[in-house]
Protein backbone atom coordinates (compact mmCIF):
# COMPACT_ATOMS: atom_id res chain seq x y z
CA UNK A 1 0.00 0.00 0.00
CA UNK A 2 2.87 2.35 0.74
CA UNK A 3 4.39 1.93 -2.73
CA UNK A 4 0.98 2.41 -4.36
CA UNK A 5 0.50 5.57 -2.32
CA UNK A 6 3.78 7.02 -3.64
CA UNK A 7 2.79 6.12 -7.18
CA UNK A 8 -0.69 7.66 -6.89
CA UNK A 9 0.71 10.89 -5.42
CA UNK A 10 3.32 11.16 -8.15
CA UNK A 11 0.87 10.60 -11.02
CA UNK A 12 -0.47 13.78 -12.61
CA UNK A 13 -3.37 11.90 -14.24
CA UNK A 14 -6.06 9.58 -12.84
CA UNK A 15 -4.78 6.03 -12.20
CA UNK A 16 -7.02 4.58 -14.90
CA UNK A 17 -5.48 6.93 -17.49
CA UNK A 18 -1.85 6.05 -16.75
CA UNK A 19 0.14 4.66 -19.68
CA UNK A 20 3.42 2.83 -20.03
CA UNK A 21 5.05 6.19 -20.72
CA UNK A 22 3.98 7.38 -17.26
CA UNK A 23 5.49 4.25 -15.70
CA UNK A 24 8.83 4.83 -17.47
CA UNK A 25 8.88 8.41 -16.18
CA UNK A 26 8.07 7.10 -12.70
CA UNK A 27 11.05 4.74 -12.91
CA UNK A 28 13.23 7.74 -13.81
CA UNK A 29 11.93 9.62 -10.77
CA UNK A 30 12.77 6.70 -8.49
CA UNK A 31 16.26 6.50 -9.97
CA UNK A 32 16.72 10.23 -9.30
CA UNK A 33 15.88 9.49 -5.65
CA UNK A 34 18.78 6.97 -5.71
CA UNK A 35 16.60 3.96 -5.03
CA UNK A 36 18.31 0.66 -5.69
CA UNK A 37 17.13 -1.58 -8.57
CA UNK A 38 15.70 -4.11 -6.10
CA UNK A 39 13.54 -1.42 -4.45
CA UNK A 40 12.36 -0.07 -7.79
CA UNK A 41 11.38 -3.57 -8.91
CA UNK A 42 9.31 -3.90 -5.73
CA UNK A 43 7.48 -0.68 -6.67
CA UNK A 44 6.82 -2.01 -10.16
CA UNK A 45 5.56 -5.35 -8.83
CA UNK A 46 3.10 -3.58 -6.53
CA UNK A 47 1.79 -1.33 -9.29
CA UNK A 48 1.50 -4.20 -11.77
CA UNK A 49 -0.31 -6.31 -9.18
CA UNK A 50 -2.72 -3.47 -8.44
CA UNK A 51 -3.80 -3.17 -12.08
CA UNK A 52 -4.10 -6.96 -12.33
CA UNK A 53 -6.35 -6.89 -9.26
CA UNK A 54 -8.59 -4.23 -10.81
CA UNK A 55 -9.02 -6.31 -13.96
CA UNK A 56 -9.39 -9.70 -12.25
CA UNK A 57 -11.37 -8.92 -9.09
CA UNK A 58 -13.17 -5.69 -9.88
CA UNK A 59 -13.83 -6.35 -13.55
CA UNK A 60 -12.47 -2.95 -14.56
CA UNK A 61 -11.12 -3.02 -18.11
CA UNK A 62 -7.90 -1.01 -17.76
CA UNK A 63 -4.73 -1.81 -19.72
CA UNK A 64 -1.87 -2.59 -17.37
CA UNK A 65 0.74 0.15 -17.94
CA UNK A 66 3.50 -1.89 -16.28
CA UNK A 67 4.72 -4.14 -19.06
CA UNK A 68 6.36 -7.48 -18.27
CA UNK A 69 9.68 -6.20 -19.58
CA UNK A 70 9.71 -3.32 -17.12
CA UNK A 71 12.26 -4.56 -14.64
CA UNK A 72 15.68 -3.30 -13.66
CA UNK A 73 18.55 -5.76 -13.85
CA UNK A 74 20.06 -6.49 -10.47
CA UNK A 75 23.84 -6.43 -10.18
CA UNK A 76 25.29 -9.92 -9.82
CA UNK A 77 28.14 -10.08 -7.32
CA UNK A 78 31.27 -11.82 -8.52
CA UNK A 79 31.73 -15.35 -7.17
CA UNK A 80 34.02 -15.34 -4.13
CA UNK A 81 36.98 -17.64 -3.91
CA UNK A 82 39.20 -18.64 -1.00
CA UNK A 83 42.85 -17.57 -0.90
CA UNK A 84 45.52 -20.24 -0.55
CA UNK A 85 46.50 -19.15 2.95
CA UNK A 86 42.85 -19.27 4.07
CA UNK A 87 42.40 -22.73 2.55
CA UNK A 88 45.33 -23.89 4.66
CA UNK A 89 43.71 -22.43 7.80
CA UNK A 90 40.37 -24.04 6.97
CA UNK A 91 41.62 -27.57 6.37
CA UNK A 92 43.94 -27.32 9.38
CA UNK A 93 40.95 -27.17 11.77
CA UNK A 94 39.19 -30.17 10.21
CA UNK A 95 39.84 -33.30 12.26
CA UNK A 96 37.43 -35.98 11.03
CA UNK A 97 38.14 -37.94 7.82
CA UNK A 98 34.51 -37.67 6.68
CA UNK A 99 34.44 -33.88 6.83
CA UNK A 100 37.83 -33.54 5.20
CA UNK A 101 36.69 -35.80 2.35
CA UNK A 102 33.43 -33.88 1.88
CA UNK A 103 35.04 -30.48 1.66
CA UNK A 104 38.04 -31.51 -0.42
CA UNK A 105 35.64 -32.98 -3.01
CA UNK A 106 33.95 -29.59 -3.22
CA UNK A 107 37.33 -27.91 -3.65
CA UNK A 108 38.93 -30.34 -6.10
CA UNK A 109 35.90 -31.69 -7.98
CA UNK A 110 33.71 -28.59 -7.88
CA UNK A 111 30.80 -30.46 -6.29
CA UNK A 112 27.79 -28.53 -5.02
CA UNK A 113 26.63 -29.27 -1.48
CA UNK A 114 23.55 -31.08 -2.84
CA UNK A 115 25.79 -33.20 -5.05
CA UNK A 116 27.92 -34.23 -2.07
CA UNK A 117 24.76 -35.17 -0.17
CA UNK A 118 23.47 -37.28 -3.08
CA UNK A 119 26.82 -38.92 -3.89
CA UNK A 120 26.41 -42.69 -4.01
CA UNK A 121 29.09 -45.33 -3.62
CA UNK A 122 28.30 -46.66 -7.11
CA UNK A 123 29.01 -43.25 -8.62
CA UNK A 124 32.59 -43.24 -7.32
CA UNK A 125 35.14 -45.06 -9.47
CA UNK A 126 38.35 -45.07 -7.46
CA UNK A 127 40.21 -47.22 -9.97
CA UNK A 128 39.68 -44.70 -12.76
CA UNK A 129 39.66 -41.77 -10.33
CA UNK A 130 36.41 -40.27 -11.49
CA UNK A 131 32.94 -39.53 -10.15
CA UNK A 132 29.65 -39.62 -12.01
CA UNK A 133 27.60 -36.71 -10.71
CA UNK A 134 24.01 -37.80 -11.28
CA UNK A 135 21.10 -35.39 -11.58
CA UNK A 136 23.11 -32.27 -10.85
CA UNK A 137 21.66 -28.80 -11.20
CA UNK A 138 19.14 -28.82 -14.04
CA UNK A 139 18.88 -32.61 -13.82
CA UNK A 140 22.10 -33.08 -15.81
CA UNK A 141 24.74 -35.77 -15.30
CA UNK A 142 28.45 -35.04 -15.62
CA UNK A 143 31.81 -36.65 -14.90
CA UNK A 144 34.41 -35.07 -12.62
CA UNK A 145 37.87 -36.31 -11.79
CA UNK A 146 39.54 -37.02 -8.45
CA UNK A 147 42.82 -35.26 -7.65
CA UNK A 148 45.60 -36.96 -5.66
CA UNK A 149 44.77 -35.26 -2.35
CA UNK A 150 41.02 -35.86 -2.80
CA UNK A 151 41.74 -39.53 -3.57
CA UNK A 152 43.76 -39.93 -0.36
CA UNK A 153 41.09 -38.17 1.74
CA UNK A 154 38.30 -40.26 0.22
CA UNK A 155 40.16 -43.55 0.71
CA UNK A 156 40.91 -42.62 4.33
CA UNK A 157 37.25 -41.91 5.01
CA UNK A 158 35.90 -45.02 3.29
CA UNK A 159 38.19 -47.20 5.42
CA UNK A 160 36.60 -45.88 8.64
CA UNK A 161 33.12 -45.25 7.27
CA UNK A 162 30.30 -46.63 9.43
CA UNK A 163 29.11 -50.00 8.12
CA UNK A 164 25.52 -50.03 6.90
CA UNK A 165 23.23 -50.57 4.00
CA UNK A 166 23.11 -46.95 2.83
CA UNK A 167 24.16 -46.41 -0.78
CA UNK A 168 25.18 -42.83 -0.01
CA UNK A 169 28.86 -42.10 0.60
CA UNK A 170 28.62 -39.62 3.45
CA UNK A 171 26.78 -40.71 6.59
CA UNK A 172 25.86 -39.28 9.98
CA UNK A 173 28.45 -40.41 12.52
CA UNK A 174 26.76 -39.73 15.87
CA UNK A 175 23.36 -39.75 17.57
CA UNK A 176 20.10 -41.49 16.71
CA UNK A 177 20.65 -40.97 12.97
CA UNK A 178 24.06 -42.64 12.95
CA UNK A 179 24.57 -44.54 9.70
CA UNK A 180 21.92 -42.52 7.85
CA UNK A 181 22.88 -40.24 4.92
CA UNK A 182 23.96 -36.79 6.04
CA UNK A 183 21.66 -33.96 4.91
CA UNK A 184 22.50 -30.73 3.10
CA UNK A 185 21.86 -28.83 6.31
CA UNK A 186 24.12 -31.24 8.17
CA UNK A 187 26.97 -30.52 5.74
CA UNK A 188 26.36 -26.77 5.97
CA UNK A 189 26.46 -26.92 9.77
CA UNK A 190 29.86 -28.61 9.63
CA UNK A 191 31.07 -25.87 7.28
CA UNK A 192 29.75 -23.17 9.64
CA UNK A 193 31.49 -24.81 12.58
CA UNK A 194 34.88 -25.02 10.87
CA UNK A 195 34.55 -21.49 9.46
CA UNK A 196 34.11 -20.20 13.03
CA UNK A 197 37.05 -22.28 14.24
CA UNK A 198 39.28 -20.91 11.47
CA UNK A 199 37.79 -17.40 11.81
CA UNK A 200 36.96 -17.25 8.13
CA UNK A 201 33.94 -16.14 6.12
CA UNK A 202 33.57 -19.17 3.92
CA UNK A 203 30.74 -21.34 2.60
CA UNK A 204 30.48 -24.63 0.71
CA UNK A 205 29.93 -22.81 -2.56
CA UNK A 206 33.11 -20.76 -2.07
CA UNK A 207 35.11 -23.99 -2.36
CA UNK A 208 33.51 -24.68 -5.76
CA UNK A 209 34.28 -21.12 -6.87
CA UNK A 210 37.86 -21.58 -5.71
CA UNK A 211 38.31 -24.66 -7.88
CA UNK A 212 37.17 -22.74 -10.95
CA UNK A 213 39.49 -19.83 -10.21
CA UNK A 214 42.47 -22.09 -9.54
CA UNK A 215 41.94 -24.04 -12.76
CA UNK A 216 41.64 -20.84 -14.77
CA UNK A 217 44.83 -19.47 -13.20
CA UNK A 218 46.52 -22.74 -14.16
CA UNK A 219 45.55 -22.07 -17.81
CA UNK A 220 42.80 -24.70 -17.99
CA UNK A 221 40.50 -24.25 -20.96
CA UNK A 222 37.30 -22.35 -20.19
CA UNK A 223 35.12 -24.98 -21.90
CA UNK A 224 36.73 -27.73 -19.81
CA UNK A 225 35.97 -25.78 -16.63
CA UNK A 226 32.40 -25.34 -17.84
CA UNK A 227 32.03 -29.11 -18.25
CA UNK A 228 33.56 -29.88 -14.86
CA UNK A 229 31.30 -27.41 -13.05
CA UNK A 230 28.19 -28.41 -14.98
CA UNK A 231 27.41 -24.90 -16.20
CA UNK A 232 24.81 -24.87 -18.95
CA UNK A 233 26.06 -21.53 -20.30
CA UNK A 234 29.64 -20.48 -20.95
CA UNK A 235 28.75 -16.97 -19.73
CA UNK A 236 28.38 -18.34 -16.21
CA UNK A 237 31.89 -19.75 -16.34
CA UNK A 238 33.28 -16.56 -17.88
CA UNK A 239 32.45 -14.68 -14.70
CA UNK A 240 35.47 -16.33 -13.12
CA UNK A 241 37.70 -14.56 -15.64
CA UNK A 242 37.14 -11.34 -13.72
CA UNK A 243 38.61 -13.00 -10.63
CA UNK A 244 41.54 -14.64 -12.35
CA UNK A 245 43.99 -11.74 -12.13
CA UNK A 246 47.11 -13.92 -12.17
CA UNK A 247 46.21 -15.37 -15.57
CA UNK A 248 45.44 -11.89 -16.92
CA UNK A 249 48.76 -10.70 -15.53
CA UNK A 250 50.70 -13.53 -17.17
CA UNK A 251 48.88 -13.03 -20.48
CA UNK A 252 49.59 -9.29 -20.36
CA UNK A 253 53.33 -9.61 -19.75
CA UNK A 254 53.68 -12.41 -22.30
CA UNK A 255 51.91 -10.36 -24.98
CA UNK A 256 53.74 -7.16 -23.98
CA UNK A 257 57.11 -8.91 -24.29
CA UNK A 258 56.21 -9.78 -27.89
CA UNK A 259 55.05 -6.20 -28.57
CA UNK A 260 58.24 -4.70 -27.14
CA UNK A 261 60.42 -7.15 -29.04
CA UNK A 262 58.74 -6.18 -32.31
CA UNK A 263 59.10 -2.49 -31.45
CA UNK A 264 62.82 -2.89 -30.72
CA UNK A 265 63.34 -4.76 -33.99
CA UNK A 266 61.57 -1.95 -35.83
CA UNK A 267 63.74 0.68 -34.17
CA UNK A 268 66.95 -1.20 -35.04
CA UNK A 269 65.94 -1.39 -38.71
CA UNK A 270 65.44 2.38 -38.89
Instruction: Report the alpha-carbon angle 129-234-202, nearest 5.
Output: 65
**56: annotated active-site residue:** no
33 is catalytic: no
Report the pLDDT value the prediction gives residue 243, as an integer from 0 to 100.
62
Residues 6+ apart with CB under 8 A from 133: 111, 115, 119, 123, 141, 142, 143, 144, 230
Output the CA torsion 97→99→101→103 (10° steps): -150
> Which of 43, 48, 112, 209 is an active site residue?
112
Q: Looking at residue 96, what is its pLDDT?
A: 92
Residue 119 is predicted with a pLDDT of 95
Told to judge if 269 belongs to the known catalytic residues of this protein, a careful annotator would answer no
Catalytic residue among 130, 137, 142, 180, which? 137
Question: Residue 157: left if φ>0, alpha if ψ -120 to 50, beta else—which one?
Answer: alpha
Q: Please say if 240 is a catalytic residue.
A: yes
Q: What pLDDT sits at residue 75?
A: 60
Residue ranges of the chain with per-residue pLDDT less than 70: 74-79, 164, 241-248, 266-270
- What is the bridge-based pairing of β-strands 124-125 and 142-145? unpaired
pLDDT at residue 267, rounded to an integer: 58
Query: Does 196 participate in catalysis according to the annotation?
Result: no
- Domains, the chain, with CATH or none: 2-56 (no CATH), 84-246 (1.10.443.10)
What's the confidence (pLDDT) of residue 110? 92
| pTM of the model as a whole | 0.66
pLDDT tens readout for residues 218-230: 888 888 888 888 8
The active-site residue out of 6, 129, 168, 205 is 205
Amino acid sequence: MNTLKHYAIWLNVPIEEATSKHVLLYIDSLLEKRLKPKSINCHLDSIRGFYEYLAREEGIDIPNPVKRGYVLRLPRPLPRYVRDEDLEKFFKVIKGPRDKAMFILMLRCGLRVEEVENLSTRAVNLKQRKILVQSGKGGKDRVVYISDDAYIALIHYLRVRSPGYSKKVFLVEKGIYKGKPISVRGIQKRMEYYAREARLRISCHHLRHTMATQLLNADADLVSIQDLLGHSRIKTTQRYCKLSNRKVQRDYYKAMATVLQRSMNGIKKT
